Structure 1
Amino acid sequence: MQKDSKYIKIEVAAYSGYKANERPLYFVVDQQKFQVTKVQDRWCGQDHDYFKVLTDDEQVYTLKWHRYLDVWFIL
């Protein structure tokens, strides 16, 4: 697990429709896979997209995608 200040870098598989990384499908943290069952909220920052997601373990996580570097983090 690689940390970037207060964020943890993660691996994410995302759906790309009319634009890249429209919504996360699943993510991996410390070799554990979390299936995204619902995107509860989404908002955009200057260089980042944020996703509040519900996973198959019924937990809520916030994911951050850096659009220009194409890197994902969990908050």
Structure 2
Amino acid sequence: MFLDVETRPGLHGDKEPVAFMLGDKRIEVVEILDRWIGGDHSYFKIQTSDQATYILRFEPLLNRWQLTLFKAHF
């Protein structure tokens, strides 16, 4: 699932997520829990304002974000 993601410059100037749209709902990133690079992609494990954990994948060559994992916390 591709996403519209708001970003800011990270530590080395790379994009990091601040918020994203899921349907018509804006979800804010509360904390970046982890980040790593895999091939041509950057991955971000994030805690969000809806008390869930997501993993987002960023493809810099296409400037495209994708949702790769969602875990709800009850």
TM range (shorter): 0.7 to 0.9
CA distance in 1, matches of 2:39, 2:13: 17
Count how many residue pairs are aligned between Structure 1 and Structure 2: 67
Q: Give ranges in structure 1 of 5+ residues lacking alignment.
A: 1-7
**Equivalent of 2:32 in 18, 39, 43:** 39
**Equivalent of 1:71 in 58, 64, 67:** 64
Greater strand fraction, Structure 1 or Structure 2: 2
Q: Give ranges in structure 2 of 5+ residues lacking alignment.
A: 69-74
**Equivalent of 2:3 in 10, 29, 41:** 10
Deviations 1:23-56 (A, max 9, x none): 2000111111100000001000111000000001
Alignment RMSD, CA only? 1.0
1:54 aligns with 2:70: no
TM-score of the pair, normalised by structure 1: 0.83
Percent identical among aligned pairs is: 30
Q: Where do 4+ consecutive residues of structure 1 move more than 6 Å?
A: none
CA distance in 2, matches of 1:30, 1:24: 17
